[in-house]
Structure 1
Amino acid sequence: MQENGMTEDVRRSWGESLRAFFHPRVITMLFLGFSAGIPILLVFSTLSVWLREAGVERAAIGFFSWAALGYGFKFVWAPIIDKMPLPLITALMGQRRSWLLLSQLSVIAALALMAMIDPVENLVGMAVAAVALGFASATQDIVIDAYRIDSADEDLQGMMSATYIAGYRIGMLVAGAGALELAGMIDVIEGYDYGAWQITYFSMAAVMVAGIITTFLIPEPNRPDGKSAHLNSLLDYLQFLGLFIAVAFAFAMTFFLSSDLANLVRSVLVETGMAESLAGFLIGTGRLVTAVSAAALLAVLLTKTHLVPREMVRETYVAPFADFFDRFGRIAMVILFLIATYRIADVVMGVMANVFYVDLGFEKQEIGRISKGFGLAMTLAGGFLGGLLIMRFGVMRILFLGGILAAGTNILFAVMAGLGNQLWMLMVVISADNLSAGIASAAFVAYLSSLTSKSFTATQYALFSSMMLLLPKLIAGYSGVAVEALGYASFFIGTAFLGIVPLALILYLGFRKPRLSQAT
């Protein structure tokens, strides 16, 4: 049950909490999280190493980061995953599992396509394949998030979030350090060896089979009667598909075609004295708002001309947002502000973390080994501990605890700034930071899951997950300037104080007791 943006915390015994780890749905999320964690680094850091080894210029490698834009804009096509069935396979597997299978097969196809392209000979083809992988991977994330929320009651969401995060981190480790290690082992040619990278990416595609096997083994979750995705005729299906293609095309074309104008305006703003990070954020936000407005305008025009039924547009793109505000009323804006600020302390600090380590004189190998060793272990431990504590004490209490830990560990960075280059302190700081991040992430994912309505799970969660980094990323753009002006110790203490904002919002929501209607 939800009350004013709070979940109704149910206290359970330690035995009940521990037994929840062995619930089939909880174990399922470990494997689905692994499947979700595989593609992201294969379109980011691992691909960057491949391209650089192939002699691609740094500027061109930077442009490849656009391949992951799908992660930021996944809310644009999330409604279609909620509402549109896939021909034939949805009838056999259900709405969630059919989309999950399609997205996983698409990830495998994109990885195989990348493996068959040598960037030295066809850099454009590699870019297209990378964009396809980003889109397929973001789609898989949307479906897995929706499946997690739909498949279990609210009291299991903490555990499911914890195992999902654990699986995701393991998948990232396999696709990051594991892929690089494999490519290095296979490489038999001095210099660039395309064959080694080809085998590596084919191997990563094969690893995705674990996700497909999981998809066939899991049951389709129950959704509210009368609110599942149903289209009455072939015409309904074609109209729905046409609506999505038209809206997505309008959004994408407006966003990408505004690039040159946006760069020009940003240059003018910087020349007039505006900070480059602020100018970039304002222009980026303007492009996003313009693209969304263009997509919405096209949807309105299609509706006005009766090419698409008004009810279909309302159910697809208006109803998910109206549902959220109807359920939470005036408190909805407070909830959205909490979503936008909960990760503010760790995101703003995190931008400067590795720079701080280097400035203290730590070697790259020391930072990497401790981050991958202690860091990964403590993130997994934090996630599982967070899930256990959520089962024992409820989401809101652990959400508050996670906020305290995330802000409090920033103080350790300030202490480290005073101690200087001490390897033991580096281990303590990285361990504490990752442990707190694991607990906070598990609680936050469970909280976001509790806010969604099962009628619009994919759409609402995609929107929440897209907006949760917007404000933190804006402020993080000033982190370097802040360090230059204040020094590391004061900067880290300042980021800890930023964490007071979400804590105050959690307390405020805790004192608001009017009953709201239960999400359906």
Structure 2
Amino acid sequence: MNSTVSTGWRSRLPAAIRPYTESAPIAALFLGISSGAPYALIASTLTTRLAQDGINKRAVTAFTLAFLVYNLKWLWAWVVDGVRLPLLGRLGQRVSWLLLIGVLTMAAIVNLALVDPKASLMATAVAAILVGAAGATYDIVIDAYRIESLEPRQLGVGSGMSQYGWRIGSVAAGALALVIAARLGWQAAYIACAIFALPAMAVGLVLGEPARHRDPIIRRGISAVTDSVLAPLLEFFRRRGAALVLLFILLHKIGDTLANLTFRLLFEDLHYTNDEIAIYDVGFGFWAYLIGIFIGGAMYSRLGMKRSVLISLVLMMLSNLSFAGLAATGHSNWAMAGAIGFENIASGIGGVTVVAYFSALCDLRYTASQYALISAAASIVGRVLTGTTAGGLIERVGYVNFYLLTTLIAVPGIVLFWIMIRGGFVDEVEATANGKAATEKPRTD
């Protein structure tokens, strides 16, 4: 893009908006769209489909174990970093993998469309796991492409745009599925949603390889495989405070994950219709999330990494209380709007600040592997607990006490991050990311 022209038209925009118009953050938006759709199709959308097919709560919440594939993606992320694809590889390491996994993701979604949960829960579970595997691998490539495309100064804005895209993809896929399912059935709904894999593929074809991509040191023979698997992990765990950072990653999102993966069960038990869910959970929640993302980007720019992440963790914890209030109130569109609004604003803020922090943790030689490890670890405990205990726990203690419990469970993550701030670990991450930026050639858009 001609830098003189782009500087000219950007100069007429408000200063707060200008960074969002650069090519790397815009690419992050489209990458996020393709990342969010597969997740939504095995999350709330599949929960609604199963509930409407008369599947019991324990079986429905057990399907959240399909998300464990996302938590295991670090096991094969090294392949995306270290294996060059034949033929497609000539397009570049990241672009070739975007195209391959994009096609496989579309195929997995169509496969899930063709199964009937009432005929075979096992076949449905396998199909959901395949979507999870394809979506998780797509995330590996998408996250690596995003991080390597963004300069450190763009991490807050780029993370925000990625979250915008993720929300657009997940909401659009979920809303489209609900609308089509009500008219043509779930099979047609899922087939239509396969198109959401295309935006990330388009980004790779249009923009090419990321400017900041760094190939790891090449080794031959068995040492090549060993190094591809172990080097990203060893580099991470050799850092000062690595164990504490990993503990924070594991614990900080347990309460949020437990709550989020049970919202649709609450809505069904409160007798909300598909249209009400589409309007308030999908529609109103979408705009609230976008507002939260914008606030998160501004917070990250003005307050810095430490304070913005800490504030977002507190807000995400408090947002679970709003659903305890909704459960106590009963069927009320105003109460649903308030709970959804607060939760999505808090999640939008946290999505920007925490993702920016996690992105800064990655060594550019091992972006795919390390971010896969970090993002997988961030929700694995919550997903395991949701899939194994959430349904039964709700039946025993009720929704109000369940959401109060998820609020308390979020406290350890906040305490850990405060300890990390006091120990200087967050400052070191920020300084390292900025130090790497100083050695790189600036890019003009």
- Fold conserved between structures, TM > 0.5: yes
Q: 1:438 offset after TM fit, Å?
A: 1.1
- Report the CA distance between 1:178 and its aligned residue: 0.5
Q: CA distance change for structure 1 residues 122 and 400 in 2, over 3 Å: closer, same or farther? A: closer
Task: Check the 8 A contact 2:25/2:157 in 1, yes or no.
Answer: yes
Does the aligned pair in 2 maintain the 1:362–1:421 contact within 8 Å? yes
Matches within 5 A, 1:201-212: 201-212=190-201
Whether the 8 Å contact between 2:174 and 2:282 is mirrored in structure 1 is: no
Range that drifts further, 101-110 or 19-28: 101-110
Match of 1:315 in 2: 227
Instruction: Name the TM-score, length of structure 2 as normaliser.
Output: 0.78
Distance 1:394 1:345, change over 3 A: same
* Equivalent residue letter for 1:346: D
Question: Using a 3 Å threshold, how does the CA distance of structure 1 residues 155 and 502 change in structure 2: closer, same or farther?
Answer: farther
Could you tell me how far 1:56 is from its partner in structure 2? Answer: 10
Tell me the matched-pair count.
417
The Cα shift of 1:482 comes to 7.1
* Equivalence map 1:321-470=2 (5 Å): 321-326=233-238, 328-329=239-240, 331-350=241-260, 353=263, 363-364=272-273, 366=276, 369-413=279-323, 423-470=333-380
Moved more, 480-489 or 27-36: 480-489
How far residue 140 of structure 1 moved from its aligned partner, in angstroms, is 0.9
**Aligned residue in 2 for 1:31:** 30
1:135 aligns with 133
What is the identity, as a one-letter code, of the residue corresponding to 1:506? F
Structure exhibiting the larger radius of gyration computed from Cα positions: 1
Equivalent residues in 2 for 1:73-472 (5 A)?
73-91=72-90, 93-111=91-109, 131-185=129-183, 187=184, 197-198=187-188, 200-223=189-212, 227-228=215-216, 309=222, 311-326=223-238, 328-329=239-240, 331-350=241-260, 353=263, 363-364=272-273, 366=276, 369-413=279-323, 423-472=333-382
Q: Is the 8 A contact 1:17 1:392 kept in 2?
A: no
Contact 2:64 2:383 in 1 (8 A): no
Aligned-pair CA distance for 1:418: 6.6
Q: Distance in 2 between matches of 1:63 and 1:356?
A: 16
Aligned counterparts of 2:369 and 2:227: Cα–Cα separation in 1: 11
CA distance in 2, matches of 1:480, 1:129: 22
Q: Distance in 2 between matches of 1:46 and 1:177?
A: 9
1:518 aligns with 2:432: yes
Instruction: Quote the Cα distance in structure 1 between the aligned partners of 2:395 and 2:56.
Output: 30
Shift of 1:135: 2.6
Q: 1:505 aligns with which of 416, 425, 429?
A: 416
Give the whole-Å Cα distance in 1 for the aligned partners of 2:123 and 2:317.
44
List alignment gaps of at least 5 residues for structure 2. 1-12, 437-445
**How far does the alpha carbon of each residue in 1:362-392 deviate from its partner, in whole angstroms, 9 at most, with x for none?**
6445455321222222112212321232123
Q: Distance in 2 between matches of 1:132 and 1:358?
A: 26
Q: Which amino acid aligns with 1:88?
A: L
Q: Confirm or deny that 1:19 pairs with 2:8.
A: no
Alpha-carbon distance, 1:38 to partner:
2.5
CA shift for structure 1 position 55: 11
CA distance in 2, matches of 1:125, 1:409: 36
The answer on whether the counterparts of 1:409 and 1:433 sit within 8 Å (CA) in structure 2 is yes
8 A contact 1:351–1:479 mirrored in 2: no
Where structure 1 has 5 or more consecutive residues not aligned to the other structure, the ranges are 1-13, 188-192, 237-307
Q: Judging changes above 3 Å, is the alpha-carbon distance between structure 1 residues 434 and 56 closer, same or farther for their aligned structure 2 residues?
A: closer
Q: Assess if the C-alpha contact under 8 Å between 1:156 and 1:391 holds in 2.
A: no
Which residue identity lines up with residue 152 of structure 2 in the other structure? Answer: E
Does the C-alpha gap of structure 1 residues 411 and 47 become closer, same or farther in structure 2, counting only changes over 3 Å? closer
Give the 3 Å change call, closer, same or farther, for CA 95–445 of structure 1 in structure 2. same
Aligned-partner residue type, residue 24 of structure 2: R
Aligned residue for 2:365, secondary structure, equals coil
| Structure 1 residues 68 and 157: alpha-carbon distance in aligned structure 2, compared to 1, 3 A threshold | same
- CA shift, 1:217, in A, is 1.1
Aligned-partner Cα distance in 1 for 2:325–2:57: 36
* Matches of 2:180 and 2:329, distance apart in 1: 38
Q: Separation in 2 of the partners of 1:400 and 1:453?
A: 23
* Cα deviation, residue 433, structure 1: 1.3
Q: Which residue of 1 aligns with 2:407?
A: 496
**8 A Cα contact 2:250 2:378, kept in partner:** yes
| Percentage of pairs with the same residue | 31
d(CA) in 2 for partners of 1:208, 1:347: 24
One-letter amino acid of the counterpart of residue 212, structure 1 = M
CA distance in 2, matches of 1:127, 1:474: 16
Q: Is the 8 A contact 1:346 1:410 kept in 2?
A: yes
Task: Decide whether the 8 Å contact of 1:37 with 1:171 is kept in 2.
Answer: yes
Alignment partners' CA distance in 2, 1:67 and 1:356: 20
Taking the aligned partners of 1:387 and 1:147, their CA distance within structure 2 comes to 20
- What residue number does 2:4 align with? none
**Partner deviation per Cα, 1:451-506 (whole Å, 9 max, x = no partner):** 11111111111111111123334665666787788776666555434433222222
Deviation sequence 1:19-73 (CA, Å, 0-9, x none): 2111211111111111122333445565677789999999999997776553232
User: Over aligned residue pairs, what C-alpha RMSD do you find?
Assistant: 4.1
Structure 2 CA distance for aligned equivalents of residues 428 and 172 of structure 1: 21
Alpha-carbon distance in 2 for matches of 1:333, 1:142: 23
